[in-house]
């Protein structure tokens, strides 16, 4: 309907100004029903080029509008806003459209099958996934689903930081456990990991177990003095554990990349040499520096340290160069807020390579901390992890659906309080329960009706005339634009908010009206409306990775 009104306005504007076809016409939903179903400021946009009063232009536009069966009346408001009041047939048309498109309703082809990579989670393989990783997993997977729904060719990728100081700490921690040294012992490494899972890794290594992670299979050799063997086994073991966490969270990846492979394949060294050739590096204090201030950074950054070895952002630059070379037009990194400081230097490094990478590439979505609450008190420690709440803890407490919904339902850049008690509650206060119950409630109504679903596509919708029905149909019509906006803003919480509002409209409708009435035509029309609502609820829940149960 929005596209239809836009066509009408373009036709009217072209009759007033020859170059009006290039205008980007804005149509918004008014805040109150008395201002119509859609409103545009087109008259104000034309005021300057036409050198006329906006209200006079609005009158001319209305006179020039082509006739439409979907428009009941058009009014001028305020300084020159044009308000459209749609016919009942226009509002009812969305029900037919949903019946026609089914699972495809809300999807579009705006991305034109262009390649986009979404990198998310990307945890160090040093322990179980924590709730912060869980938030990244939920938001990242929703982003991938939204981009796919908007026509992009999406690749989901997990980048393992399996090199560096944290892996060294993991190695010495497991080695200490292999030698019978416990965290409370004086010889325990100062930066060692203390969780019970370290003991599990050590026991498996000493028992010569075999673990598989993606394309790797590693067998423990049982030698407590072989640090390299311990490192390889520990990384593979914890990658496997993280894979199990992701599986429990119903997260799938297309590609797993290893930081260590960037070194072994020579990609880090190649990137460094290209940066040197670009002329943006210099030697100072026995270290190699990148002149990132050339690209907006507040100070230059060390690439190679005085004592040798590259700083952590250098392999990041090599990794993103690899992404560019793989043909991704767009890359989106979903990461924790602690990665904020890396954005400028990674982008600066990519610009310094001078290989045609656009400025401000890649995109970043950074999520804030998660505070877990139970019984009004913060939950801080998992025995298995030793110092943090794990993703698996949440899934076991409240289930996958509630965990995914709660972690994605707020803006990623806002801090999140995860209330375990609320997530477990079977009440209207629990938003995921409230939404899923709307879907199940409709299923119950349709079962009680017992008619053929195929008959709903031919239903006469003219009897749908109540205020609740009009509100519900308007909400259904907003879904495609909501999906488009959520993808454009990289904001899955927009879908979560929409679903709460749609569920509220459905429950209000259910409480105010009987669906199964003596009038067969009215009954069938209402069945068509609630069936369409059920489909949109299912389509929206899919975008959040949440199930749509038939019974609750």
Q: Could you give the residue ranges of the DSSP H alpha helices within 105-161?
A: 131-149
Residue 403, pLDDT score? 98
Q: Which of 24, 55, 86 represents a domain boundary (last residue)? A: 86
User: What's the rounded Cα separation, in Å, for the pair 473 and 469?
Assistant: 6
- The yes-or-no verdict on residue 21 having pLDDT over 70 is no
Residue 383, pLDDT score? 62
- The H-or-E segment that residue 418 falls in is strand 416-419
Q: Is residue 288 part of a domain?
A: no
Residue 341: pLDDT band with limits 50, 70, 90: confident
Residue 32, pLDDT score? 84
Residue 23, pLDDT score? 78
User: What's the rounded Cα separation, in Å, for the pair 418 and 379?
Assistant: 10
Burial class (CB in 10 A: 0-12, 13-18, 19+), 240: middle
* Cα distance between the two ends of the chain: 35
Task: Give how many domains the chain has, as a whole number.
Answer: 3
Q: Which of the 8 DSSP states describes residue 458?
A: G
Domain shared by 82 and 171, yes or no: no
Residue 412: pLDDT band with limits 50, 70, 90: very high
Q: Do 128 and 237 meet the contact criterion of CB atoms below 8 Å apart?
A: no
- 188: which residues sit within 8 A by CB, 6+ positions away? 176, 181, 182, 194
pLDDT digits (tens, 9 = 90+) for 244-299: 999 999 999 999 999 999 999 999 999 999 999 999 999 999 999 999 999 999 99
Strand ranges (E), 246-345: 255-258, 281-284, 287-290, 301-304, 330-336
Q: Is residue 274 part of a domain?
A: no
pLDDT digits (tens, 9 = 90+) for 122-172: 999 999 999 999 999 999 999 999 999 999 999 999 999 898 889 999 999
Q: What is the DSSP pairing of strand 115-119 with strand 153-160?
A: parallel
Buried b vs exposed e over 55-80: b needs ≥16 C-beta within 10 Å?
A: bebbebbbeebeebebbeebebeeeb
Helix (H, G, I), strand (E, B) or coil at 534: helix
Rg (CA), the chain: 29
Q: Position of tokens 């990289």?
A: 490
Q: Which of 248, 271, 290 represents a domain boundary (last residue)? A: 248
pLDDT digits (tens, 9 = 90+) for 475-496: 999 999 999 999 999 999 999 9
Please report, for the domain that includes residue 55, its CATH number: 3.30.1360.70
- The yes-or-no verdict on residue 192 having pLDDT over 90 is yes
Residue 19, pLDDT score? 67
Mean pLDDT, the chain, integer = 94
SS (H, E, C) 168-181: HHHHHHHHHHHCCC
- The yes-or-no verdict on residue 75 having pLDDT over 70 is yes
Q: Is residue 207 part of a domain?
A: yes
User: What's the rounded Cα separation, in Å, for the pair 144 and 146?
Assistant: 5
Helix (H, G, I), strand (E, B) or coil at 435: helix
Q: Which of 248, 278, 299 represents a domain boundary (last residue)? A: 248
Q: Is residue 482 part of a domain?
A: yes
Q: Beta-carbon neighbour count of residue 83 at 10 Å?
A: 19
Q: How many residues does the chain have?
A: 552
Domain shared by 82 and 181, yes or no: no
User: What's the rounded Cα separation, in Å, for the pair 350 and 356?
Assistant: 9
Burial class (CB in 10 A: 0-12, 13-18, 19+), 118: buried
Residue 16: pLDDT band with limits 50, 70, 90: confident
Cα angle: 135, vertex 218, 246; to 5 degrees = 15
At 45, phi and psi to the nearest 5?
Answer: -65, -30
Please report, for the domain that includes residue 496, its CATH number: 1.10.730.10
Q: Do 88 and 464 meet the contact criterion of CB atoms below 8 Å apart?
A: yes
Q: Which of the 8 DSSP states describes residue 416?
A: E
Q: Is residue 212 part of a domain?
A: yes
Residue 1: pLDDT band with limits 50, 70, 90: confident
Q: Is residue 46 part of a domain?
A: yes
Half-sphere exposure of 500 (CA within 13 A, CB side): 14
Q: Position of tokens 């020159």?
A: 80
Half-sphere exposure of 264 (CA within 13 A, CB side): 7
Residue 523, pLDDT score? 97
Q: Is residue 81 part of a domain?
A: yes
Cis peptide before 247 (omega within 30 of 0): no
Helix (H, G, I), strand (E, B) or coil at 288: strand
- Residue 190 CA, chain-centre distance (Å), reads 38
Q: Beta-carbon neighbour count of residue 444 at 10 Å?
A: 12
| Mean pLDDT along residues 436-460 | 95
| CA 203 to each of CA 77, 210, 222, 230, 456: distance values in angstroms, whole numbers, following the listed order | 75, 12, 9, 11, 61
- The yes-or-no verdict on residue 408 having pLDDT over 90 is yes
Domain shared by 78 and 180, yes or no: no
Q: Do 402 and 424 meet the contact criterion of CB atoms below 8 Å apart?
A: yes
User: What's the rounded Cα separation, in Å, for the pair 16 and 60?
Assistant: 8
User: What's the rounded Cα separation, in Å, for the pair 318 and 322?
Assistant: 6
pLDDT digits (tens, 9 = 90+) for 172-182: 999 999 999 99
Residue 386, pLDDT score? 66
Beta bridge partners of 27: 40
Phi-psi category of residue 105: left, alpha or beta, with phi > 0 → left and psi -120 to 50 → alpha: beta
Q: What is the DSSP pairing of strand 115-119 with strand 81-86?
A: unpaired
Domain that holds residue 186: 165-248
Q: Is residue 343 part of a domain?
A: no
Residue 144, pLDDT score? 98
Residue 385: pLDDT band with limits 50, 70, 90: low
Domain shared by 539 and 432, yes or no: yes
Q: Position of tokens 């199940």?
A: 440
């Amino acid at each position: 309907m929005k596209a239809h009104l836009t066509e009408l306005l373009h036709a009217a504007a072209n009759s007033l100004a020859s170059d009006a076809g290039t205008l980007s016409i804005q149509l918004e939903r008014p805040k109150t029903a008395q201002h119509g179903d859609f409103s545009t400021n087109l008259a104000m946009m034309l005021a300057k080029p036409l050198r006329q009063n906006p209200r006079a232009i609005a009158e001319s536009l209305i006179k020039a509008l082509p006739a439409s069966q979907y428009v009941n009346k058009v009014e001028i408001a305020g300084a020159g806003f044009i308000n459209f009041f749609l016919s009942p047939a226009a509002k009812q048309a969305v029900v037919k459209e949903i019946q026609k498109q089914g699972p495809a309703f809300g999807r579009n082809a705006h991305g034109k099958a262009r390649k986009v990579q979404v990198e998310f989670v990307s945890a160090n393989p040093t322990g179980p996934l924590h709730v912060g990783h869980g938030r990244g997993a939920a938001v990242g997977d929703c982003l991938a689903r939204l981009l796919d729904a908007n026509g992009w060719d999406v690749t989901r990728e997990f980048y393992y930081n399996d090199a560096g100081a944290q892996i060294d700490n993991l190695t010495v921690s497991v080695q200490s456990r292999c030698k019978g040294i416990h965290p409370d012992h004086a010889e325990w490494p100062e930066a060692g990991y203390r969780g019970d899972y370290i003991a599990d890794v050590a026991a498996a290594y000493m028992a010569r177990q075999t673990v598989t992670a993606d394309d790797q299979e590693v067998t423990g050799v049982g030698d407590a003095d072989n640090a390299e063997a311990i490192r390889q086994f520990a990384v593979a073991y914890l990658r496997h554990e993280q894979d199990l966490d992701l599986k429990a969270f119903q997260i799938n990846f297309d590609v797993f990349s290893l930081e260590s492979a960037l070194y072994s394949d020579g990609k880090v060294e190649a990137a460094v040499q290209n940066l040197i050739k670009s002329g943006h590096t210099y030697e100072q204090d026995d270290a190699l520096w990148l002149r990132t201030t050339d690209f907006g950074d507040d100070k230059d950054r060390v690439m190679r340290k005085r004592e040798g070895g590259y700083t952590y952002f250098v392999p990041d630059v090599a990794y993103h160069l690899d992404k560019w070379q793989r043909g991704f037009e767009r890359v989106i990194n979903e990461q924790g807020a602690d990665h904020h400081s890396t954005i400028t230097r990674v982008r600066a490094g990519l610009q310094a390579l001078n290989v045609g990478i656009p400025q401000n590439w890649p995109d970043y979505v950074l999520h804030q901390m998660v505070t877990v609450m139970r019984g009004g008190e913060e939950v801080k420690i998992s025995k298995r992890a030793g110092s943090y709440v794990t993703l698996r803890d949440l899934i076991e407490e409240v289930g996958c659906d509630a965990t995914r919904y709660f972690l994605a339902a707020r803006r990623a850049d806002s801090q999140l309080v995860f209330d375990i008690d609320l997530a477990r509650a079977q009440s209207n206060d629990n938003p995921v329960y409230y939404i899923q119950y709307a879907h199940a409630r409709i299923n119950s109504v349709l079962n009680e009706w017992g008619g053929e679903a195929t008959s709903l596509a031919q239903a006469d919708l003219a009897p749908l005339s109540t205020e609740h029905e009009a509100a519900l149909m308007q909400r259904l019509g907003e879904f495609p634009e909501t999906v488009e906006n959520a993808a454009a803003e990289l904001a899955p919480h927009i879908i979560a908010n929409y679903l709460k509002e749609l569920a509220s409209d459905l429950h209000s409708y259910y409480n105010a009206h009987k669906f199964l009435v003596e009038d067969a035509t009215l009954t069938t029309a209402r069945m068509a409306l609630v069936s369409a609502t059920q489909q949109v609820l299912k389509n929206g829940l899919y975008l959040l990775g949440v199930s749509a149960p038939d019974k609750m």
